[in-house]
Amino acid sequence: MKEKILIFTDLDGTLLDYNTYSYEKAIFSLQLIKRKDIPLILCSSKTRAEIEVYRKLLKNYHPFIPENGGAVFVPRKYFKTKLKGFVDKPGYWVKELGVTYPLLRKKLVQVTSKFGQPVYGFGDMNPKEIASLCKITYKDAELAKWREYDETFYFLKSVDEVTLKEMQAEFAKEGLTLVKGTRFFHLTGQNDKGKAAEILKELYQKESGTKCKAIGLGDSLNDLPLLQACDIAYLVKKPDGSYDKDVLAQVKPNLAEGIGPEGWNKAVLEVVGAE
């Protein structure tokens, strides 16, 4: 039986343009995979509320992964298979993999203060600040603040690589993970995009009764676990036309020829094939 293809994609800087948040340059491939009935699984540092906006825009009704693998959200009646370990939430079955947001906030302050590295997170900001910082609308900023499993922040003064690695080790002792994303740093539990993607891949295989091939697309270090977990990985170019050197130091993905959604479009065409 032919393998079933699954596409797991990051949003910011990958499917969405880094500056405009547009997916216009990826429309051809988006329409193609919809015609071929290939599941497109949004896998982002964005919150559940933010991802739901893009699911509506894209007319995407597949499962999704918010906040760097903090949870797996499966729409009700999507799978016939019984979902073990999932909890019932309005509209979804949810497998929670992350640490609660209040605990993340508490540990973020404790550890960074120990290293003399003040931080400013989404939990410190009001929607107006987030909107200005991310160049998004006030309404979108409100959705970005509604966090459950990931604190997004930046350092108020420059932090060198040695200190950063020491902080990462300190967070690890607390069962937490500090990663660098496209725009910000993120503090999460020991969850990541890759672990969440593996859970969904297994569910699709049980449901279809055939082997699934996972395609992963990303642009930055917080996408590394996703790229490592997928059968075929693609790294798209950053706005300056470069590829993330930290990702390339740890994995050898396919390099998509294009920035953000342009590269995404070409990568998906390469895998799926134009009609």
What is the mean predicted confidence (pLDDT) over 182-211?
94
Report the predicted TM-score, pTM, of the whole model to 2 decimal places: 0.92
Q: Which amino acid does the sequence have at 111?
A: V
Where, residue-wise, is CATH 3.30.980.20 in the chain? Answer: 101-188
Helix (H, G, I), strand (E, B) or coil at 163: helix
CATH, range 4-97+192-272: 3.40.50.1000
Are 71 and 45 spatial neighbours (Cβ–Cβ below 8 Å)?
Answer: no
Q: Which amino acid does the sequence have at 32?
A: L
Tell me which architecture the domain covering 101-188 has in CATH. 2-Layer Sandwich (3.30)
Count of CB atoms situated within 10 Å of the CB of 148 = 18
Read off the pLDDT of residues 139-182 as tens digits, 9 standing for 90 and up.
999 999 999 999 999 999 999 999 999 999 999 999 999 988 88
Are 1 and 204 spatial neighbours (Cβ–Cβ below 8 Å)?
Answer: no
Where, residue-wise, is CATH 3.40.50.1000 in the chain? Answer: 4-97+192-272
In this prediction, residue 274 carries a pLDDT of: 59
In this prediction, residue 182 carries a pLDDT of: 81
What CA–CA distance (Å, rounded) separates 232 from 7? Answer: 10
Read off the pLDDT of residues 35-78 as tens digits, 9 standing for 90 and up.
999 999 999 999 999 999 999 999 999 999 999 999 999 999 99
Task: Indicate which residues carry an active-site annotation.
Answer: 10
